[in-house]
A = this chain, B = another copy of it.
Amino acid sequence: MQIATPYLMFLGDVPDRLAAKTAYGINDWRPEWCVGQVRMEGCAADLGIPDLTLAQAVEHGCKTMVIGVANAGGVLPEHWVAEIVSALEAGLDVASGLHVRLGSIPRIAEAAERNGRALHDVRHTTETFPTGKGTKRSGRRLLTVGTDCSVGKKYTALALEKGMRARGLDADFRATGQTGVFISGRGVAIDAVVADFISGAVEWVSPAADPGHWDLIEGQGSLFHPSFAGVSLGLLHGAQADAFVVCHEPTRTRMRGVEASLPSIREVIDLTIRCGRLTNPAIRAVGIAVNTESLSEPQARTLLQEAEAAHGLPATDPVRFGVEAILDRLAAEFPA
Protein backbone atom coordinates (compact mmCIF):
# COMPACT_ATOMS: atom_id res chain seq x y z
CA MET A 1 0.00 0.00 0.00
CA GLN A 2 1.46 3.31 -1.12
CA ILE A 3 -0.52 6.43 -0.19
CA ALA A 4 0.12 9.66 -2.13
CA THR A 5 1.08 12.61 0.08
CA PRO A 6 0.46 15.31 1.28
CA TYR A 7 -2.79 14.74 3.11
CA LEU A 8 -6.06 16.50 3.74
CA MET A 9 -7.15 15.27 7.17
CA PHE A 10 -10.85 14.36 7.43
CA LEU A 11 -12.16 14.63 10.99
CA GLY A 12 -15.89 14.40 10.24
CA ASP A 13 -18.03 15.25 13.24
CA VAL A 14 -16.35 13.01 15.81
CA PRO A 15 -17.64 13.58 19.35
CA ASP A 16 -14.23 13.70 21.05
CA ARG A 17 -10.47 13.81 20.51
CA LEU A 18 -10.05 10.08 21.18
CA ALA A 19 -12.12 9.20 18.10
CA ALA A 20 -9.53 11.11 16.03
CA LYS A 21 -6.51 9.46 17.71
CA THR A 22 -5.06 8.23 14.42
CA ALA A 23 -5.32 11.71 12.87
CA TYR A 24 -3.49 13.24 15.84
CA GLY A 25 -0.76 10.61 15.55
CA ILE A 26 -0.26 11.36 11.87
CA ASN A 27 -0.12 15.10 12.52
CA ASP A 28 2.33 14.67 15.42
CA TRP A 29 4.82 12.69 13.33
CA ARG A 30 4.23 14.08 9.83
CA PRO A 31 3.13 17.73 10.27
CA GLU A 32 4.70 18.52 6.89
CA TRP A 33 2.23 16.16 5.21
CA CYS A 34 -0.88 17.42 7.02
CA VAL A 35 -1.77 20.45 4.89
CA GLY A 36 -5.25 21.01 6.21
CA GLN A 37 -8.30 19.51 7.86
CA VAL A 38 -11.99 19.01 7.05
CA ARG A 39 -14.27 19.37 10.06
CA MET A 40 -18.04 19.09 9.94
CA GLU A 41 -20.68 20.74 12.10
CA GLY A 42 -20.25 19.49 15.68
CA CYS A 43 -16.71 18.16 15.29
CA ALA A 44 -14.96 18.03 18.69
CA ALA A 45 -11.47 17.37 17.28
CA ASP A 46 -9.08 20.01 15.97
CA LEU A 47 -5.54 19.34 14.75
CA GLY A 48 -4.72 23.05 14.85
CA ILE A 49 -4.06 23.17 11.11
CA PRO A 50 -5.99 25.18 8.49
CA ASP A 51 -9.60 24.26 7.78
CA LEU A 52 -9.76 23.82 4.01
CA THR A 53 -12.48 23.24 1.45
CA LEU A 54 -11.86 20.39 -0.97
CA ALA A 55 -11.03 22.89 -3.72
CA GLN A 56 -8.53 24.70 -1.47
CA ALA A 57 -6.95 21.38 -0.49
CA VAL A 58 -6.38 20.50 -4.15
CA GLU A 59 -4.95 23.99 -4.75
CA HIS A 60 -2.53 23.43 -1.85
CA GLY A 61 -1.32 20.22 -3.50
CA CYS A 62 -3.12 17.63 -1.34
CA LYS A 63 -3.19 14.21 -2.96
CA THR A 64 -5.13 12.10 -0.47
CA MET A 65 -7.95 12.71 1.97
CA VAL A 66 -7.21 10.63 5.08
CA ILE A 67 -10.08 9.33 7.22
CA GLY A 68 -8.12 9.05 10.46
CA VAL A 69 -11.13 8.76 12.69
CA ALA A 70 -13.29 6.07 14.25
CA ASN A 71 -17.01 6.10 13.57
CA ALA A 72 -19.59 4.78 15.99
CA GLY A 73 -21.21 1.46 15.15
CA GLY A 74 -19.08 0.66 12.14
CA VAL A 75 -21.59 2.20 9.70
CA LEU A 76 -20.42 5.10 7.57
CA PRO A 77 -22.83 8.01 8.16
CA GLU A 78 -24.53 9.38 5.04
CA HIS A 79 -22.96 12.85 5.31
CA TRP A 80 -19.47 11.27 5.47
CA VAL A 81 -20.23 9.28 2.31
CA ALA A 82 -21.23 12.47 0.51
CA GLU A 83 -18.02 14.22 1.58
CA ILE A 84 -15.89 11.24 0.49
CA VAL A 85 -17.61 11.20 -2.91
CA SER A 86 -16.98 14.96 -3.24
CA ALA A 87 -13.29 14.47 -2.40
CA LEU A 88 -12.98 11.83 -5.15
CA GLU A 89 -14.72 14.15 -7.60
CA ALA A 90 -12.34 16.97 -6.60
CA GLY A 91 -9.44 14.72 -7.64
CA LEU A 92 -8.24 13.35 -4.29
CA ASP A 93 -7.53 9.72 -3.42
CA VAL A 94 -9.12 8.57 -0.17
CA ALA A 95 -7.39 6.48 2.51
CA SER A 96 -9.32 5.09 5.45
CA GLY A 97 -8.60 3.45 8.77
CA LEU A 98 -12.24 2.49 9.25
CA HIS A 99 -13.37 -1.11 9.72
CA VAL A 100 -15.83 -0.80 6.82
CA ARG A 101 -14.18 -1.00 3.40
CA LEU A 102 -14.59 2.12 1.29
CA GLY A 103 -15.05 0.00 -1.83
CA SER A 104 -17.96 -1.86 -0.24
CA ILE A 105 -20.06 1.32 -0.41
CA PRO A 106 -21.37 1.48 -4.00
CA ARG A 107 -21.49 5.30 -4.28
CA ILE A 108 -17.86 5.56 -3.15
CA ALA A 109 -16.70 2.70 -5.37
CA GLU A 110 -18.44 4.25 -8.38
CA ALA A 111 -17.02 7.72 -7.72
CA ALA A 112 -13.48 6.32 -7.42
CA GLU A 113 -13.91 4.39 -10.65
CA ARG A 114 -15.46 7.34 -12.50
CA ASN A 115 -12.70 9.73 -11.42
CA GLY A 116 -9.80 7.30 -11.68
CA ARG A 117 -8.90 7.78 -7.99
CA ALA A 118 -7.46 5.22 -5.56
CA LEU A 119 -9.18 3.98 -2.40
CA HIS A 120 -6.94 2.66 0.39
CA ASP A 121 -8.37 0.63 3.25
CA VAL A 122 -5.47 0.52 5.65
CA ARG A 123 -7.07 -2.04 7.97
CA HIS A 124 -7.53 -4.51 5.13
CA THR A 125 -5.13 -6.10 2.73
CA THR A 126 -6.35 -7.68 -0.44
CA GLU A 127 -2.78 -7.87 -1.69
CA THR A 128 -1.15 -11.27 -1.50
CA PHE A 129 2.58 -11.31 -0.94
CA PRO A 130 5.09 -14.00 -1.74
CA THR A 131 5.73 -16.24 1.26
CA GLY A 132 8.77 -15.20 3.28
CA LYS A 133 12.09 -16.59 2.14
CA GLY A 134 14.37 -15.74 5.05
CA THR A 135 17.19 -14.92 2.60
CA LYS A 136 19.51 -12.22 3.95
CA ARG A 137 18.80 -8.75 2.55
CA SER A 138 21.31 -5.90 2.50
CA GLY A 139 20.82 -2.92 4.81
CA ARG A 140 20.41 -2.78 8.58
CA ARG A 141 17.20 -3.36 10.47
CA LEU A 142 16.00 -2.59 13.97
CA LEU A 143 12.72 -4.02 15.26
CA THR A 144 10.82 -2.80 18.30
CA VAL A 145 9.42 -5.74 20.29
CA GLY A 146 7.25 -5.74 23.40
CA THR A 147 6.40 -7.37 26.68
CA ASP A 148 2.80 -6.78 25.56
CA CYS A 149 0.60 -5.02 22.99
CA SER A 150 0.31 -1.20 23.19
CA VAL A 151 3.52 -0.53 25.07
CA GLY A 152 5.09 2.05 22.72
CA LYS A 153 6.57 0.03 19.86
CA LYS A 154 5.39 2.42 17.15
CA TYR A 155 6.36 5.51 19.13
CA THR A 156 9.84 4.12 19.85
CA ALA A 157 10.50 3.23 16.20
CA LEU A 158 9.39 6.71 15.11
CA ALA A 159 11.50 8.40 17.80
CA LEU A 160 14.52 6.37 16.66
CA GLU A 161 13.90 7.40 13.04
CA LYS A 162 13.71 11.06 14.06
CA GLY A 163 16.85 10.81 16.17
CA MET A 164 18.83 8.99 13.49
CA ARG A 165 17.83 11.47 10.83
CA ALA A 166 18.85 14.31 13.16
CA ARG A 167 22.27 12.66 13.31
CA GLY A 168 22.40 12.61 9.52
CA LEU A 169 21.84 8.87 9.24
CA ASP A 170 19.90 7.28 6.41
CA ALA A 171 16.91 5.81 8.26
CA ASP A 172 13.29 4.97 7.50
CA PHE A 173 10.42 4.05 9.77
CA ARG A 174 8.66 0.95 8.39
CA ALA A 175 5.00 0.61 9.23
CA THR A 176 3.25 -2.63 10.18
CA GLY A 177 0.06 -1.16 11.66
CA GLN A 178 -2.61 1.17 10.39
CA THR A 179 -1.56 4.45 12.02
CA GLY A 180 2.01 3.67 11.03
CA VAL A 181 0.97 3.18 7.41
CA PHE A 182 -0.54 6.66 7.33
CA ILE A 183 2.57 8.07 8.99
CA SER A 184 4.94 6.50 6.50
CA GLY A 185 2.62 6.65 3.48
CA ARG A 186 3.44 3.01 2.89
CA GLY A 187 3.36 -0.35 4.62
CA VAL A 188 0.97 -3.08 5.61
CA ALA A 189 -1.27 -3.65 8.62
CA ILE A 190 0.46 -6.94 9.24
CA ASP A 191 -2.24 -8.38 11.49
CA ALA A 192 -4.68 -8.15 8.55
CA VAL A 193 -2.51 -10.25 6.22
CA VAL A 194 -3.40 -13.90 5.54
CA ALA A 195 -1.39 -16.00 8.02
CA ASP A 196 0.76 -17.72 5.39
CA PHE A 197 2.20 -14.40 4.28
CA ILE A 198 3.15 -12.65 7.54
CA SER A 199 6.91 -12.88 7.11
CA GLY A 200 6.63 -12.39 3.35
CA ALA A 201 4.72 -9.15 3.86
CA VAL A 202 7.42 -7.90 6.24
CA GLU A 203 10.09 -8.74 3.68
CA TRP A 204 8.12 -6.53 1.28
CA VAL A 205 7.70 -3.75 3.87
CA SER A 206 11.45 -3.64 4.52
CA PRO A 207 13.15 -4.42 1.20
CA ALA A 208 16.88 -4.70 0.48
CA ALA A 209 18.64 -1.34 0.95
CA ASP A 210 22.10 0.23 0.98
CA PRO A 211 24.42 -1.48 3.46
CA GLY A 212 24.47 1.58 5.74
CA HIS A 213 20.73 2.21 5.62
CA TRP A 214 18.59 1.59 8.72
CA ASP A 215 15.00 0.43 8.67
CA LEU A 216 13.23 1.08 11.96
CA ILE A 217 10.50 -1.55 11.88
CA GLU A 218 7.37 -1.12 13.96
CA GLY A 219 6.73 -4.23 16.05
CA GLN A 220 3.32 -5.76 16.80
CA GLY A 221 2.03 -7.71 19.76
CA SER A 222 4.42 -9.84 21.78
CA LEU A 223 5.95 -13.32 21.50
CA PHE A 224 4.29 -13.86 24.88
CA HIS A 225 0.77 -12.75 23.95
CA PRO A 226 -1.52 -15.80 23.50
CA SER A 227 -3.65 -14.00 20.92
CA PHE A 228 -0.99 -12.46 18.69
CA ALA A 229 2.36 -14.22 19.19
CA GLY A 230 2.13 -15.78 15.73
CA VAL A 231 2.05 -12.31 14.19
CA SER A 232 5.01 -11.24 16.33
CA LEU A 233 7.08 -14.28 15.33
CA GLY A 234 6.38 -13.91 11.60
CA LEU A 235 7.27 -10.23 11.94
CA LEU A 236 10.55 -11.07 13.70
CA HIS A 237 11.50 -13.59 11.01
CA GLY A 238 10.54 -11.29 8.14
CA ALA A 239 12.38 -8.35 9.70
CA GLN A 240 15.70 -10.25 9.94
CA ALA A 241 16.48 -7.79 12.71
CA ASP A 242 20.12 -6.92 13.35
CA ALA A 243 19.03 -5.12 16.49
CA PHE A 244 15.94 -4.85 18.64
CA VAL A 245 14.61 -2.62 21.40
CA VAL A 246 12.32 -4.09 24.08
CA CYS A 247 9.32 -1.88 24.87
CA HIS A 248 7.62 -2.18 28.24
CA GLU A 249 4.86 -0.69 30.37
CA PRO A 250 5.70 -1.28 34.06
CA THR A 251 2.28 -0.92 35.66
CA ARG A 252 0.52 -3.56 33.64
CA THR A 253 -0.29 -6.74 35.56
CA ARG A 254 -1.92 -8.81 32.78
CA MET A 255 -1.37 -9.10 29.04
CA ARG A 256 -3.80 -6.79 27.27
CA GLY A 257 -7.22 -8.39 26.81
CA VAL A 258 -6.37 -11.80 28.24
CA GLU A 259 -5.59 -13.50 31.55
CA ALA A 260 -1.93 -14.31 30.84
CA SER A 261 0.66 -12.68 33.08
CA LEU A 262 3.37 -10.40 31.70
CA PRO A 263 6.78 -11.80 30.74
CA SER A 264 9.90 -10.20 32.17
CA ILE A 265 12.13 -8.06 29.97
CA ARG A 266 14.76 -10.80 30.31
CA GLU A 267 12.36 -13.43 28.93
CA VAL A 268 11.53 -11.20 25.98
CA ILE A 269 15.22 -10.61 25.22
CA ASP A 270 16.03 -14.31 25.43
CA LEU A 271 13.16 -15.58 23.28
CA THR A 272 13.59 -12.80 20.70
CA ILE A 273 17.24 -13.74 20.27
CA ARG A 274 16.49 -17.44 20.19
CA CYS A 275 13.79 -17.16 17.53
CA GLY A 276 15.32 -14.22 15.66
CA ARG A 277 18.54 -16.15 15.02
CA LEU A 278 16.68 -18.22 12.44
CA THR A 279 16.86 -15.38 9.91
CA ASN A 280 19.65 -13.30 11.46
CA PRO A 281 22.22 -15.17 13.57
CA ALA A 282 23.76 -11.85 14.73
CA ILE A 283 20.55 -10.41 16.24
CA ARG A 284 21.11 -8.52 19.49
CA ALA A 285 19.28 -6.27 21.96
CA VAL A 286 20.36 -2.62 21.92
CA GLY A 287 18.01 -0.95 24.36
CA ILE A 288 14.93 -0.87 26.53
CA ALA A 289 12.10 1.65 26.10
CA VAL A 290 9.78 2.03 29.07
CA ASN A 291 6.54 4.00 29.16
CA THR A 292 6.90 5.69 32.57
CA GLU A 293 3.87 7.96 32.22
CA SER A 294 2.36 6.73 35.48
CA LEU A 295 5.54 7.24 37.53
CA SER A 296 7.06 10.36 39.06
CA GLU A 297 10.34 11.48 37.51
CA PRO A 298 12.49 10.14 40.37
CA GLN A 299 10.61 6.82 40.26
CA ALA A 300 11.08 6.67 36.49
CA ARG A 301 14.82 7.36 36.73
CA THR A 302 15.26 4.68 39.39
CA LEU A 303 13.35 2.12 37.35
CA LEU A 304 15.39 2.88 34.23
CA GLN A 305 18.70 2.69 36.13
CA GLU A 306 17.70 -0.68 37.53
CA ALA A 307 16.78 -1.94 34.07
CA GLU A 308 20.12 -0.73 32.67
CA ALA A 309 22.02 -2.50 35.40
CA ALA A 310 20.01 -5.70 35.13
CA HIS A 311 20.34 -6.07 31.37
CA GLY A 312 23.47 -4.14 30.47
CA LEU A 313 21.46 -2.08 28.00
CA PRO A 314 20.54 1.60 27.74
CA ALA A 315 17.03 2.08 29.17
CA THR A 316 14.95 5.17 28.56
CA ASP A 317 11.45 6.54 28.25
CA PRO A 318 11.46 7.86 24.66
CA VAL A 319 8.74 10.42 25.41
CA ARG A 320 10.24 11.72 28.65
CA PHE A 321 13.98 11.32 28.16
CA GLY A 322 14.48 10.81 24.40
CA VAL A 323 16.32 8.00 22.65
CA GLU A 324 19.90 9.36 22.52
CA ALA A 325 21.21 6.64 24.84
CA ILE A 326 19.93 3.94 22.49
CA LEU A 327 21.30 5.76 19.44
CA ASP A 328 24.72 5.97 21.13
CA ARG A 329 24.66 2.23 21.74
CA LEU A 330 23.62 1.58 18.13
CA ALA A 331 26.43 3.81 16.84
CA ALA A 332 28.94 1.90 18.97
CA GLU A 333 27.68 -1.54 17.99
CA PHE A 334 27.18 -0.78 14.30
CA PRO A 335 29.92 1.60 13.18
CA ALA A 336 29.23 3.32 9.87
Check if A228 is an interface residue, CB within 8 A of chain B. Answer: yes
Contacts of A275 in B (CB 8 A): 223, 229, 271
Whether A226 contacts B199 in the complex (CB less than 8 A), given A134-B258, A259-B133, A271-B274, comes out as: yes
Whether A226 contacts B195 in the complex (CB less than 8 A), given A233-B233, A274-B271, comes out as: no
Interface string of A211-241 (1 = CB under 8 A from B): 0000000000001101111111111010000
Identity of the chain B residue whose Cβ is nearest the Cβ of A263 in the assembled complex: B278
A229 to B278, CA, bound (A): 10
Contacts of A230 in B (CB 8 A): 195, 198-199, 230-235, 237
Q: Which 10 A-B pairs have the closest CB atoms?
A: A230-B234, A134-B226, A191-B196, A131-B227, A230-B230, A198-B230, A132-B227, A233-B233, A230-B233, A195-B231
Interface residues of A, count at CB 8 A: 37
A302-329: which have CB < 8 Å to B? none
Contacts of A193 in B (CB 8 A): 194-195
Contacts of A271 in B (CB 8 A): 274-275
**A interface with B by C-beta (< 8 Å):** 131-135, 190-196, 198-200, 223-224, 226-235, 237, 257-260, 271, 274-275, 278-279
By the criterion CB–CB under 8 Å, are A192 and B199 in contact? no
Nearest Cβ on chain B to A238's Cβ, whole angstroms: 8
Identity of the chain B residue whose Cβ is nearest the Cβ of A260 in the assembled complex: B134
Whether A199 contacts B224 in the complex (CB less than 8 A), given A192-B194, A194-B191, comes out as: no
Identity of the chain B residue whose Cβ is nearest the Cβ of A240 in the assembled complex: B226
A198 to B198, CA, bound (A): 11
Nearest Cβ on chain B to A264's Cβ, whole angstroms: 13
By the criterion CB–CB under 8 Å, are B195 and A198 in contact? yes
By the criterion CB–CB under 8 Å, are B260 and A229 in contact? no
Contacts of A223 in B (CB 8 A): 233, 275
Nearest Cβ on chain B to A90's Cβ, whole angstroms: 33
* Other contacts beyond A131-B227, A135-B259, A192-B196: 18, CB < 8 A: A132-B258, A133-B258, A191-B194, A194-B194, A195-B231, A195-B234, A196-B228, A196-B231, A198-B231, A199-B230, A224-B278, A226-B237, A229-B234, A230-B231, A230-B233, A260-B279, A271-B274, A274-B274
Whether A227 contacts B133 in the complex (CB less than 8 A), given A190-B195, A195-B195, comes out as: yes
Query: Can you report 13 A-B residue pairs in the complex whose CB atoms are below 8 A from each other?
Result: A133-B258, A190-B195, A191-B196, A192-B194, A195-B195, A196-B231, A198-B231, A226-B278, A229-B278, A230-B231, A230-B237, A231-B234, A271-B274
By the criterion CB–CB under 8 Å, are B227 and A233 in contact? no
By the criterion CB–CB under 8 Å, are B194 and A133 in contact? no
Contacts of A237 in B (CB 8 A): 226, 229-230
Identity of the chain B residue whose Cβ is nearest the Cβ of A200 in the assembled complex: B227
Contacts of A192 in B (CB 8 A): 194-196
> Contacting A226 at CB < 8 Å: which of B226, B231, B279?
B279
Nearest Cβ on chain B to A193's Cβ, whole angstroms: 5
Nearest Cβ on chain B to A328's Cβ, whole angstroms: 32
Nearest Cβ on chain B to A232's Cβ, whole angstroms: 8
Identity of the chain B residue whose Cβ is nearest the Cβ of A133 in the assembled complex: B258
By the criterion CB–CB under 8 Å, are A257 and B227 in contact? no
